[in-house]
Amino acid sequence: MNNAQKQAIRILTPEEQMAITLSSVHGKSTWEAGEIMGKAHYKYLEIHARGVKYFRMFTEYFTLFPELFPEDLCTNKQFREYIINLMINRKTVKETIGLLNHEDWVTTKQIAHQIENAMKALSRSDKPVQASHLIHLIKDFDRWNNFRILPLSMQEPSAFKRRNKQKIKKLLTLTSSLHPLALQRVIKLYELKKRSKTPLYLPIVSKFEQKMSTIIEVGNSSNDEISKIPLFIFNHKEDANKYLEITSAYLFKENHSCRDGQIFWPELRYTIKKAINYEQVMGVNPTRKAFLDNAGIDPEIRKFLKKREAEQDSYLARNIKARISRAKAKMS
């Protein structure tokens, strides 16, 4: 084993080292290795794949450069310590921030800002070759790691296919709870004015104004813009109808049981995968501000929309409290 390989193997966690040893040295099957480590089969496969990937990419890096992050590569001392603690010492983000103990590295927003600025500065380093390799290494480490070390805006897709229910839930909550004026703006912007032989179908769901839940025909040229909002577009009207039907039935139901969720979420995941812009929409970070920006909402009416949405949220909260009170009264 050469020096680069020795440096790379030391970076691996004990679990990653064991996963590789059991398969490569002892010839154990993935099922046997998983049982020995006390891990579910899918988890063992993930640990093994991560270990192999890290060993290869760090070996390649240390073959070219003797040190991960030389001091003269970046002027941001805290960022350098952040990367070394996470990638070399394999600390958690919480442990690393505690070790930094710096006033500019406290909140999530501050940390994201510091990392984004430091990565930009690193790309302008006087040592462009190593800086370029290090940036690539950091991004690769982030996408293969079992927790993210980069802010959402800089993340590449995870190397592991995990079900992202929270993101889908956030998307549905955002797009179904917007003020009717915002939805009217979307309809006005993208609905086809003339009939088309090959229209696309955009389902719109509103839990505040049920009568606004509809399907509009849009053109191919609007695909990218609508994906940034982000809303799902379908090639076939029956798929758009299915999306509208299942989301409306779930959102407008007053009391959900566990069984409702067990039926709804798999059906929703299956349906949205038929959307022609599924990959684009799932790559967008769903926020209310982004929706308003991409839907072309005039900044002058944002305060009004924000106020009205706050009123709607308050109304919903009062309704929920009233339902709870009625339920308690029935039980007593």
Q: What is the pLDDT of residues 71-93, one digit of tens each?
A: 888 888 999 999 999 999 999 99
Residue 159 lies in a domain: no
217 and 80 within one domain: no
194 and 305 within one domain: yes
Q: According to the model, what pLDDT value does residue 218 have?
A: 92
180 and 38 within one domain: no
Per-residue pLDDT, averaged over 64-76, amounts to: 90
137 and 169 within one domain: no
270 and 210 within one domain: yes
Dihedral sign from CA coordinates of 84, 142, 28, 32: positive
Report CA-CA distances (Å) from 145 to 49, 59, 156, 164, 253. Answer: 10, 17, 12, 16, 39
Q: Which range has highest mean pLDDT (107-121, 161-175, 208-222, 223-237)? A: 107-121
Residue 283 lies in a domain: yes
Q: According to the model, what pLDDT value does residue 56 have?
A: 95
Q: Is the pLDDT of residue 62 over 90?
A: yes
Q: According to the model, what pLDDT value does residue 307 have?
A: 64
241 and 169 within one domain: yes
184 and 120 within one domain: no
Closest CA to 48 of 60, 59, 36, 63: 36
| Residue 218, φ and ψ in degrees, nearest 5 | -130, 165
Residue 239 lies in a domain: yes
Range of the domain at 137: 3-154
Q: According to the model, what pLDDT value does residue 21 have?
A: 94
Q: According to the model, what pLDDT value does residue 322 have?
A: 72
Q: According to the model, what pLDDT value does residue 5 have?
A: 93
Residue 147 lies in a domain: yes
121 and 41 within one domain: yes
Last residue of a domain, one of 125, 154, 183: 154
User: Number of structural domains, the chain?
Assistant: 2
143 and 243 within one domain: no
**Which are the contacts of 88, defined by CB distance < 8 A and separation ≥ 6?**
11, 68
Helices marked H in 229-284: 237-251, 258-272, 278-282
Residue 160 lies in a domain: no
Which residue in this structure is represented by tokens 């996408």? Answer: 143
236 and 317 within one domain: yes
Last residue of a domain, one of 118, 134, 154: 154
Amino acid identity at 289 = K
169 and 52 within one domain: no
Statement: the pTM of the whole predicted model exceeds 0.75: no
Last residue of a domain, one of 154, 173, 197: 154
**Per-residue pLDDT tens for 259-315?**
888 889 889 999 999 999 988 888 776 666 666 665 555 555 555 556 666 666 666
Distance CA 174, CA 289 (A): 10
Q: State the angle between helix axes of 30-37 and 14-24 in degrees (0 to 180), rounded to the nearest 10.
A: 140
Answer whether 281's CB lies under 8 Å from 227's CB: yes
Residue 297 lies in a domain: yes
Residue 332 lies in a domain: no
Least confident of 56-70, 120-134, 140-154, 222-236: 222-236
Indicate the Cα dihedral angle 47, 51, 57, 58, nearest 10°.
130
Q: Is the pLDDT of residue 197 over 70?
A: yes
**Which are the contacts of 330, defined by CB distance < 8 A and separation ≥ 6?**
none
Residue 149 CB-density burial (10 A; 0-12 exposed, 13-18 middle, 19+ buried): buried
Q: Which range has highest mean pLDDT (118-132, 156-170, 212-226)? A: 118-132
**What burial letters (b/e) apply to 180-205, b meaning 16+ CB within 10 Å?**
eebbebbeeebbeeeeeeebbbbbbb
**Per-residue pLDDT tens for 238-271?**
999 999 999 988 888 878 787 888 889 889 999 9
Amino acid identity at 93 = V
Closest CA to 81 of 38, 114, 109, 110: 114
117 and 57 within one domain: yes
Q: According to the model, what pLDDT value does residue 1 have?
A: 81
Distance CA 114, CA 102 (A): 11
